[in-house]
Structures are given as C-alpha cells and as structure tokens.
Structure 1
C-alpha cells in the first residue's frame, strides 16, 4: 500500500505540479473532462437589459481578477445608465485586506466595458463615486450613442492568463515597445538577464512559501478552487483544473479525488511552492505596472492599464502570468519597496515570456444576470 501511495504522489507531482495524493473517501469517477468556458452558452433573459447592454457587460466581465472571483456587480439605474459596484461577497480578505486588488480588477472591467461599448457605437461617461476601496458604489457610467470606435473584441474574448510552457528568450525591443505603447512611465520590463529579475524570482518563491503556510490565505484559496466540474458549472468562477492548466489524467484525478480539505495539507502546500519555483525559472522576465499613488482613481487606472497590456500580448505570442504574492505579503512587499527603487507604487508583477502556441481561454464567467442588480 505504501508503494502505491508513493507512486501516486509522484504521478501527481510530475503531471500536475501542484498537488499530492490525500486520503479522501466517497470518490466519484464520472468527472471525465475539464469544464471550460465554451462548454456553456447563456441565453439572455430575466433582466431589463437590451441586447447591446448585455453584450457590453458580458465582454466587460471577461476581465481578470484574483482567484477569478469577479468582484463586480452592475446596478441598473435606467437604460445605458448603471453603477459599477464592489461585490463584498467576492473579497479576498486573506490576501487582499485593503481591497487594492479588488479595485484593480474593477479597473480592468471598466477598460473592457469601454472597448466593447465603443465597438457598438457608444461613448462612455465615467464618474468616480468611491473615495475608498471598501465602498460599494465605485463608478457611475452613462452610455450615449456616438460614432462606432472599431475595436477587435476578439482580443477580449481570447485574452488568457497562461501559466506554463514559457520560453526563456528575452523579449525583443520592438515587442516591448509595442506592448508598453504610451504607458512607458508606468510599465517596466525587467529582463531575465538582470539582477533585478533574479531578485524578483527569488522573492516570488519566498512570498509563495509564506502565503502557502499562512492558514488564513490557504483556507481562502481552498474556497475558490473548483475541483469538480459540478462545482465549476454551479459557480462559474474560481480556479478550475483547466484554469490551473491541469489536463488529462492528472485533471481527472483531481476532479474525482480532491476537495477543499486537501488544499490545507502539507503535501499540497509544498507542491504549490515547487510549482512556483519551476514557473519563475522559465520566463523572459517580469513586467511591473506602477501607478501615481494608491488612491481609488489610480488603482482603477492601473487596472485599465494592465488590461490594455493583456489584450495586446497574444498577437505577439507573449504570455502573462500575474504573480501577486510578493505584493500581498508584508515582509516581501517592504523588501520590494526598498530594493527595486521604484518611484511609484507597484500594483502588478507579471511573469512574461514567449509561447510556441497560444492556448484558448478556459476560465469561467458568471452570466450577466448573476452580477446584474435591477
């Protein structure tokens, strides 16, 4: 029995890179494939939204967020007039107690919303409502008919966080210039040939080690992992086996044998740290995104800036992987401020690198009706 157990642990370590076998009873072996975004198409219904409004809000919701919590809601005032809100039930108090990341995610949502609205011929008028990150009403938005501002919304639909198969080739100068565009003051490329890159990689490993053994953070993570396809389909958010890029037999194993309790075990924590160690060893470097300050307005703009970057990388076959633990843990965050010499607060740390082939998006999204408040 011991030999079999060890073989299974080795299998999960090699195939999934994040987990090891735990003793769980009551297995169901019927969960045969990863549940992904394309497995379900939601039909409009049950709200006062027009087809244009619903299309715009769905595209806005394809923005990234920590643990894929999707921490936004939309309060309906009248047609094409909404409040974009901060959903407190989606907060990650264990890793984001100040709701800094919540504001960044809502900023990314606003960027998608503006692009999607313009593509359908609407101008957006945004009015900031929130003075702090904890306020429920964040931004008031009114849409008005205007000339069509053509934007390739396939970029929004195809945006994806990629975690594996990065090359180590440093990004070409022309590609860096293309990605940064007019945001050179706020987006900084740290190539893997630099000492700063090595420091960021080491501190990212350390921050993940600290966070993995901080029970509050680990318990929070366990609440947002959707191991089974049943839970993935039910909640349509969180971290799925597909989103964590655990495919084939390894994905089947997790979907059928794992639950929240396994996330708290030492084997899971150690395998998670090993996975991070492997990830940071394969990259072209890091992209850091800064802001003027930590005000709500600056955080929203930093989120918009990050989303614009995310929407451009695919055409260059460049991947992005937000690795935020360094900013979430007090010890490593303080080291970042003193060691990197950045004149502005860092809001995003993104691992980056070239891919040979770009995978399709798989992360789930709740239908518009679930985050719409009429």
Structure 2
C-alpha cells in the first residue's frame, strides 16, 4: 500500500550539500529577528493543531460521527484517504471508493486503494464494537474500480467489546531511527499470531533480507525517475501550513518526519515544481538507502488471491497488526515500491519463495521512542455524501 509509499524525506540536513546548507543556515540567522521570519510559515501543523470541524450536511448521531472519524484514521497511500460514505439512514451506510483520490501513477489497478479501504473497514468495526454495535457487511463491489464497495448496517447490541480505541488513535507510521536488534521470539510470535499462511518474517540475518533491501532501493530509484509517479507524489505533498490545513490529507512535513530548520526552509521556499528536480529525486533515494539499512527485518503480508474481498480482508489484517505494535515499541513502515515497479530484476516471490500474492512489504523493527501521530485526517463532514442511488 503506497502509504505506504516511502515519502522522500526531502532535504535532510544530513544529506544537504554542505555549502548550500550553510548558506540556508546563515540566512536563517540573519532573518531570525526580522519581521519576515515572524510572518513566515514557522511551524509544522500536526493533528492536534486541527479542529475536527462540525457536521453540517447530515445530523449524525454522536456515535456515528465517532465511529466514522476513528475509521478514517486508517493509513493509505500518500495519505489520500480514498474512501467516502454514502449515508442511507442512521447507522446504515455504503462504504465507497473515491475515484478522485486514486493514485494511477503507482497503483493503476487500484489494488492499494482497496487495501486502504480494508484498513478503514477494520477501524470502523473496532470502533463500532467499542460503542456496542454489531456490523453487518454486505459486499457490493465486483472490481477494484466499483464505487460502492460495502453496505454496512450497525445494530446496537447492548454489549461492548471494550476494544481499546486508543490503539487506533495512536497508530503511526515511523520511518526513521529503527534499531537493528533482532525481534524477540515472544514479539515475533505476537506479530505473526499463528497466521503463518499470510504473515512471513524475513530477519536481517537472512540472505533474502539483503535482496529485498537491494530491490527496494532499485524500485525506489525507478519510481523516483518515472515522471508520472513523481508528478503524482508532488500533487500530494503539503509543503505549507496553509495547504496542510486546507486539505487535511496528503504528505505533510511532520508526517515525513522533517522538522526544524529544514522544515522551515521547505515550508517557505519549496513547492511542487521542486519535487520534479533531480536533487529532490536523488535525496529521496538516498533516504531510502538509509532506511533499509535500519531494521530488524521485513514483514510480508500475502493473500491467496486478489479479488476485492481478498484485498479488503488483507487490508483489515494489516490494520489489526498495525494498531497492536506500539505497545511493544515495534515500528512498521510500509514500503511497497517493489510491488509497484515491474522492472525489478527479481520479484518478491522469487526472493522469498512465497507462492501466494504478496500485498504488503513492511519494514519492521524496534524504536526507542514512539512519537505521537501527526498525519492529518479530513473531518467526517468532508467524506460523507447523500445516497442518491
């Protein structure tokens, strides 16, 4: 899932040309006390800075709004949030596929779109159970391109599953500062959870680990220099705080873990045209090289096929894993370019010997500190529509 895409970490101070960086730093010092600095874009917006907004289109029940917002905290490629809800009546909705949020440059068959919607569905089910509702889902879609994916009716049961919804709220993709320590047997068993038909771990001591690293770097290189993919990426990067607040989606600087002076420079002096320049492309590849050198291994999620139902189930499986790892200080970073670029010398199946279809490639490892989530989400009112069918 291409949030699974690795967003280029733009210009990090570690990789920036020394002369250029010193010039930027000197300029920052000169303007630090000036009116320009005070009126410039000085800090990254994060999730806590944004007011979720108020429901206006539909008089939603409080539980409906809570459930749908928690569902929307699911990950998606470039954080496009490719779902919307058709409102039939209270607690009866259609979960839909938003064509305007597809990523044809890296996901031309909408495989990753459906996986993302599966993650959304899993969050919805967890949140509904927490508030004492049973979800009845009915499949509507026959293809990845169909608009209506699932019909869902929520029925109050009087019982609560006591699911810890903080797990949904605190889920975060971490891209840097992974430890190379091996996962303990207990933690690995916890991750796999007996699902050996679907979850496969490649430790950093295995020869396959090095091959996946190499092919991931190569796939990122291909994608960075493929103009359609790079232009698509540029469309979804939110450099300025103004765009961040306006859209509440996409790849923000905070979400890409860019802070401090570098973030200030990018917010004030970068735009989408810079993403297409060679320097930006090369810096993103260099960042990937650093990332793949830091992990305990690769966790792969496969499915028996690629029907809409199987993709939804796989997205749900991934989300169940993703919301559970924080408590063990295990980070997950989806890096799916190896599945998206067809010119790789070796496919993930050839490297690992997995016969089923690999749907997720997740870099995995321990981290010392688990930061709070910062990626933005649209208010519920922005992704709910009347059912006119």
TM over 0.5: yes
Which residue of the partner structure matches residue 144 of structure 1?
155
| Secondary structure in 2 matching 1:233 | helix
Instruction: Give the whole-Å Cα distance in 1 for the aligned partners of 2:11 and 2:314.
Output: 37
Identify the match of residue 61 of structure 1 among 60, 69, 72. 72
Classify the secondary structure of the residue corresponding to 1:251.
helix
Aligned ranges 1:1-374 → 2 under 5 Å: 12-15=11-14, 29=37, 30-46=40-56, 47-146=58-157, 147-332=159-344, 335-374=347-386
Gaps of 5+ in 1: 1-10, 23-27
Kept in 2: contact 1:125–1:142 (CA 8 A): yes
Unpaired runs of 5+ residues, structure 2, are 1-9, 22-35
TM-score, with structure 2 as normaliser: 0.89
C-alpha spacing 1:310/1:16, structure 2 compared with 1 (3 Å): farther
In structure 2, C-alpha distance between the alignment counterparts of 1:258 and 1:43, rounded to whole Å: 29
Deviation at 1:49, TM superposition (A): 1.3
Residue 292 of structure 1 deviates from its aligned partner by 1.2
Q: For 1:244 and 1:290, how far apart are their aligned partners in 2?
A: 27
**CA offsets 1:124-168 (integer angstroms, 9 cap, x no match):** 001111010000000000000111111000000000000000000
Distance change (3 Å), C-alpha of 1:153 and 1:13: closer
CA displacement at 1:185 relative to structure 2:
1.6
SS of residue matched to 2:13: helix
Give the whole-Å Cα distance in 2 for the aligned partners of 1:52 and 1:14: 45
Taking a change above 3 Å as real, the CA distance of residues 209 and 150 of structure 1, as seen in their structure-2 partners, is same
Aligned residues: 359
Tell me the alpha carbon deviations over residues 7-32 of structure 1, each in whole angstroms, 9 at most, x when there is no partner.
xxxx94434779x979xxxxx75111
TM-score where L is the length of structure 1: 0.93
Q: Which 4+ residue blocks in structure 1 deviate beyond 3 angstroms?
A: 15-18
Show CA shifts across 1:312-336 (max 9, x none): 1100000000001000001228622
Secondary structure in structure 2 of the residue aligned to 1:332: coil
Cα deviation, residue 281, structure 1: 0.3
State the distance in 1 between where 2:194 and 2:344 align: 30
Q: How has the CA–CA distance of structure 1 residues 285 and 311 changed in structure 2, closer, same or farther, with 3 Å as cutoff?
A: same
Tell me the C-alpha RMSD between the 2 structures: 1.9
Aligned equivalents of 2:317, 2:137: Cα separation in 1: 16
Shift of 1:198: 0.5
User: Per-residue deviation at 1:211?
Assistant: 0.2
Task: Give CA-to-partner distance per residue, 1:247-270, whole Å, 9 cap, x none.
Answer: 111111111110000000000000
- Whole-angstrom distance in 2 between the partners of 1:231 and 1:221: 15
Residues 17 and 275, structure 1, Cα contact 8 Å, conserved in 2 = no
Q: CA contact under 8 A between 2:15 and 2:283: conserved in structure 1?
A: no
More displaced stretch, 174-183 vs 129-138: 174-183
Contact 1:327 1:333 in 2 (8 A): no
